[in-house]
Structure 1
């Protein structure tokens, strides 16, 4: 798959659909890109990147070769080194690569946003040098529901602003999940308040497909009855989600320890029914 020849330009405007022949798409990142919170019946996870690959195959009506190297818990450095190395070593080389990372870094004390942006810039330059089209994403903003959310949100806003600058510098497609007001609503989030649920992953997929020129901006998910947080439900939340997270930080472990990427090599997807991204 290569860009359509539109007006002699090698890279078309980001809102124009791409021509395709056996398109190859690879995703790198952490739990957001792996698909945590969007379960499959077999116990695995789906996630927005799987949904994008499925949506591309449906909309282009052509096979898509898909790889997903994302692993939950990963910090940005191993994403843009180990995972990007693996992505650019795939044979054949990918046509399209999506990158999101930094969410786990922002939850740690002492993180420097400038360091994260420098890592992102180097990743963008590597993709440009390799001739691989990069789509850069900022993750959805969970901070309205998190303890110390305002503190984390300032970091997320700074990382997003810097990522916008990098995208402009390299002419990248940028998908601003962090700036999407709709997805901040509780109905898009899992019980841990940190990972998107199926509706949230579907919305992100719709935003990515729209940015690639394959569909409209996804409509809002159906409303849900408001949930009431009591002292008991709050205590349960801390016991089931916050305490295990703190324990992993204290012990220097990660939820992704020992896990492998779910699609480390090209995985064929045949065209199927078109998906709205908001289903």
Structure 2
């Protein structure tokens, strides 16, 4: 078993905030990052130095906020994250930029690389992610694929450097299954979050609790009428408001604080 981490900071957008996972008693979403923190805290509770050192327990912060672009992640989260000096950092960002027409992918890569370098300079192990492939489950998403493939190659290149780890979601076909996604089709369902958490732990060298890439059991296909009703509900409930925010320059994360802004003991 690898040496247990003593501290973990999660940086990013709604993916890392945990959107659409189970709700916690405090009203926040749980999310894959919380699930990773829970597993790492359990490891740390059995570490031999915990009894001797009050600071030897596991600490966790989650600075991610929904809707953030990569520039906002850099400007609003990086200084706090680097100051915490955590041993482990997860960094996910840039997909909100890619979703917007006219995305400057060169600028996104430059900012993501800057974030990764600043976090790695603290001595932390930095976990990065490739995006899932939306074209295998979302009609009309083919326009996004060139940028997603560029980001995938960029992240994988970063992952070849010492101190970086990459969780490859793109190559996991289980994410083609809509049951791993929430009703809005953009955020993970609880099962999706569970699988991403397991992917992170596996990438960090932890023994696999289950095969997170494995497909779900087959389900009866939805009828045409049901699919049409689902599509209409999705367009009205999720796509329309998303377009409205873009047109008015608003974001779902405007004015929203991080759910765990301080590096505190995780229980």
Q: Aligning the two structures, in what range does the TM-score lie when normalised by the shorter sequence? A: 0.7 to 0.9
Aligned to 2:87: 95
Aligned to 1:122: 114
Unaligned runs of 5+ in 2: 47-56
Which stretch shows the higher mean deviation, 256-265 or 128-137? 128-137
Q: After TM superposition, list the pairs within 5 Å mapping 1:205-216 onto structure 2.
A: 205-216=197-208
Pair 1:158-2:175 in alignment: no
Q: 2:248 aligns with which of 248, 251, 254?
A: 251
Aligned to 2:221: 226
Q: After TM superposition, list the pairs within 5 Å mapping 1:1-279 onto structure 2.
A: 17-20=1-4, 23-42=6-25, 43-62=27-46, 63-90=57-84, 93-216=85-208, 217-218=211-212, 219-228=214-223, 229-270=226-267
Unaligned runs of 5+ in 1: 1-16, 271-279
Q: Secondary structure at the match of 1:168?
A: coil
- Give TM-score scaled by structure 2 length: 0.87
**Cα gap change, 1:143 to 1:35, in 2 (>3 Å):** farther
Aligned to 1:273: none
Distance in 1 (alpha carbons) for counterparts of 2:217 and 2:263: 35
Deviations 1:210-267 (A, max 9, x none): 0111122435445444334443332221000110000000000001011000000023
- Give TM-score scaled by structure 1 length: 0.83
Aligned to 1:274: none
Distance in 2 (alpha carbons) for counterparts of 1:250 and 1:225: 39
Cα RMSD, aligned residues only: 1.9
Distance in 1 (alpha carbons) for counterparts of 2:122 and 2:203: 22
Q: How far off its partner does 1:188 sit? A: 0.2
Distance in 2 (alpha carbons) for counterparts of 1:220 and 1:123: 33
Distance in 2 (alpha carbons) for counterparts of 1:235 and 1:47: 27
Q: Contact between 2:129 and 2:169, CA under 8 Å: does it hold in 1?
A: yes
Q: Secondary structure at the match of 1:117?
A: helix
Between the two proteins, the alignment pairs up a number of residues equal to 251
